[in-house]
Chains A and B, each alone.
Chain A
Amino acid sequence: MEKLLIEPTRSSPRIRFDGQAHLLEVTGESYPEDAAMFYRPVFEWLTRYLEGLAAGVEVRVKLDVNYFNSSTSKIFMDLFELLDDHVRAGKTIVAEWISHEENDMGIEFGEEFQECVTDLPIHVVTRA
């Protein structure tokens, strides 16, 4: 499956989804004017990828987004929900919510997202 690469802008994050390495990364800031439109290709790619994902393969999803708007928070919850559904269906997916160690609020956001899922493990990881 082809990689999904979206370069970052001032208001949108870098998207790097590598189906071969089974590594999905979202990095930067996210407050696009139309969050739904920006993330539409992301969900399309992810849905196709997860449907074709073989059992037993571990997928790592990393989100390192230090600023995001309310629309993006809804998108992220949808993303975690989609992943959560697939974990329940037997896929192996591990998510990481990455935040700077001094960004207490960023860490709290990761904990909030943990409450939205039942089966997907979301690890809150801090970086220096």
Chain B
Amino acid sequence: MEREGIFGKEEGFLKEARAFLNEEREREIAVCGNTFCPKPHLDTYEGLLSRYDALLTGYEKLQRKLGVMMRISDKQQLKINNTNQELTEAKEQLERRNEFIRNIFGRYVSDDVVDSLLDSPEGLSLGGEKRDVTILMSDLRGFSAISDSYSPESVMGMLNIYLDEMTEVIESHHGTIDAFIGDGILVMFGAPVAMSDHPQRAVACAVGMQLAMERVNRRNVAAGYPEIAMGIGINSGSVVVGNIGSARRSKYTMIGMNVVHASRIESYTIGGQVLISSETRERCGEVLAIRRELQVIPKGYKEAITIHEVAGIGAPYGLHLPTPAGVDCCLLSSPVPVCFAVVHDKQVEHWLTDGEIVGTGKNLVFLRSERELESLVNLRLLLTGEEGSGLEVLAKVQDRVDSGCQVYRVAITHASTEAEGFLAQLQGG
């Protein structure tokens, strides 16, 4: 039986019936000519009935099959429609869940991490991998002392303004915020979303963050809060990244000595500075503008390392930190006596060294001391003269002005309002 299509059988019936009809017409014309011939030959008439019966039976079957087909087709269509409806509802529910995850989860991790996890849910599994990243660590200078002087609400208010502005800058540079550590921010570039230019992005982000501090301080002043300053340290290298924690609570984070290295570099900054490791500088190449290089021996390190102060980053970022104003030194006619202690890792040494402030400048003092002080060492200065006695200032040694007379340029990282007023008075007087 030849079957052309699914209706091949029925087409066969019709073809046969049509051929028979044509044949009969020809025979009628041959027998009767053009005259009307009401009765065909008897044998042909029987044959005609038989053919008619076959055609009618075939048509009846076809009609029955068509009816069944349509009912089945309608039911299948209904099933597909129901399935589509279920799929649409499931999709909407999934979108609502994703939105919920993005809203809640996104407060703690960047959009990149959320997108990455939503795209590959297997990323939620605990585990880790070694990745080449750039780590940015920022910290507010002297904020611990500020937080002791203000109400908890004000401290939270200040932090929220700061973190709000910084988060926007970080996200715009596709950094992933690993953690807010008090007033510090730990950011990674290059994970979870890999990027070949993570060192440049991190430095551009750091410069952007410093520039955004102007907005932070405008908002702070408007809210009645003090101005704050931030230091940033950056390092590039291999770390272990992944979801670390337990099945109940885990966090996408990074671990490794390179993270510690970034933190150590950050500890050498004063407000407004961006210091980077040699590794980051090398990877960034010529696009960076470097203000100066410093040799330091961080805690736990046996040898000195070189750190680099960033002045800006060129195209395509085109971001530059303001050039520090020339030191407008005001030499004091009567030096102000102080004693000071060196601070290592927020631990103040137990003995005090005598010295005197011989000059002042914007956010800095010139300290004369017989004690040898290394660059970037943190100091806690205590004013001991008749005027200003008992006032405290946190500061960081910048460099020695003159090796002959043991005078150091010391940047003020934090001063109480009273101390600030006293130093301003010295400068004015």
Contact = CB atoms under 8 A, between A and B. Distances in A.
Contact of A108 (B8, B69, B75): B75
A116 interface: yes
Interface residues of B, number: 19
Most buried by B among A70, A71, A75, A115: A70
A74 B64 contact: no
B153 to A, nearest CB: 60
B181 interface: no
Contacts of B64: 115-116
B68 A47 contact: no
Interface residues of A, number: 21
B70 to A, nearest CB: 8
A116 B65 contact: yes
Contacts of B76: 69-70, 105
Interface in B197-248: none
A33 to B, nearest CB: 12
A36 B73 contact: no
A94 interface: no
Interface string A40-52: 1001000100000
Interface string B322-364: 0000000000000000000000000000000000000000000
Contacts of B283: none
Nearest to A103: B79
B6 A74 contact: yes
Contacts of B69: 70, 73-74, 77
Given A36-B6, A113-B68, A73 B73 contact: yes
A70 B68 contact: no
A43 B72 contact: no
B72 A109 contact: yes
Most buried by A among B3, B4, B73, B79: B3
Most buried by A among B7, B9, B61, B68: B68
Interface in A106-126: 108-109, 112-113, 115-116
Contacts of A74: 6-7, 65, 69
B42 interface: no
A12 to B, nearest CB: 15
A70 B7 contact: no
A36 to B, nearest CB: 5
Nearest to B73: A70
Interface in A26-40: 35-36, 40
A101 B64 CA distance: 27
Interface of B: 1, 3-9, 61, 64-65, 68-69, 71-73, 75-76, 79
23 contacts: A36-B3, A36-B4, A36-B6, A43-B3, A47-B1, A70-B69, A70-B72, A73-B69, A74-B7, A74-B65, A75-B6, A77-B65, A78-B6, A78-B9, A105-B76, A105-B79, A109-B72, A109-B75, A112-B68, A112-B71, A113-B68, A115-B64, A116-B64
